[in-house]
Amino acid sequence: MTKWITREKPKIDRIACPWLIRRFIDAEAEIIYVPYDRVLSQAKELGAIPFDLPGVEYSHYDDQCTFDYILKKHQLKDPALYRIAAIVRGADTDRHDFAPQSAGLEAIFSGLAYNSSNDHELLAIGLLIYDGLYSWARHLYKKKHSQGDTAEQLLLQVYHQYLKKEKGSRTPAWAKSLKEMIQDQLDTNMTLSLQQASSELEINPAYLSREFSKHFDNLSFGDYMRKLRIDKACQLIETAEHSLTEIAYLTGFSDQSHFTRIFKKQTGASPANYKKENLKSKKDAKS
């Protein structure tokens, strides 16, 4: 039985990693949560492996999470685990463009952490949640919950309808229709990822990425979606009486900090300053 130790108050990676360890590396592994400043000393005293902590082997590397490192370190090849890794990575690093399920995973564990301060209680619940996520990633990931005309299904319909018919056209019909439908569906918090689209279409994601940028302002799928969401946010700030938190939600951002960071990157101003300048311009126009 191995011992693994990490920081207390787990949410995403520090619950996903113990699940991965117990289900695929050591079923009897002991998971220990302690305050941040005691992890390394307790690891040495207990002979435990520290993880998800700066400066240790089992940690983040570039944009990869500890979950990703464990997969590579222990040579786990199950494709379902790599689907889960993208979701965990997106949730843990606030990059929900990695996988459309990331925002939901973050919301679930943020809510659980809000309701309970018992780390091992959270772990027990988390193990069940990741068991369910694994079943989905292995057996159900291609199935849709609804057969209705969801934004995601409408987009895929456009791809299927036009992708192969318009290869010789400079601006293919699928690209025009896709642009219109993306704009029409922005208010639904659409989260279709390029990876998911390529999987559904059964075409190479690198090819789809290259073709997408040719017809969408030389932007990647993720960058294009973020640009449209910020454009929509500016419009809401200028024309609607919504709080900035409401605007963040309406434009598909999971939290205020992520919204503020992307907004400032796109416009050069924070949402609050943009709103303030907009109100000032309106007052000056009236005077």
Q: What would the pLDDT profile of 145-155 be if each residue is shown by its tens digit?
A: 544 445 555 55
Judged against a pLDDT cut of 90, whether residue 228 lies above it is answered with no
Compute the CA torsion angle 230, 232, 238, 240 (nearest 10 deg).
-130
pLDDT tens digits, residue range 54-75? Answer: 899 999 988 889 999 999 999 9
Tell me, what amino acid is at 182? I
Which residue segments constitute the domains of the chain, with CATH numbers given? 3-140 (no CATH), 151-218 (no CATH), 224-286 (1.10.10.60)
Contacts of 141 (CB under 8 A, 6+ apart): 80, 83
pLDDT for 147: 45
The Cα angle at residue 178 between residues 271 and 188, in degrees rounded to 5: 45
Judged against a pLDDT cut of 50, whether residue 172 lies above it is answered with yes
pLDDT tens digits, residue range 98-140? Answer: 888 888 898 899 899 888 889 999 999 999 999 999 999 888 8
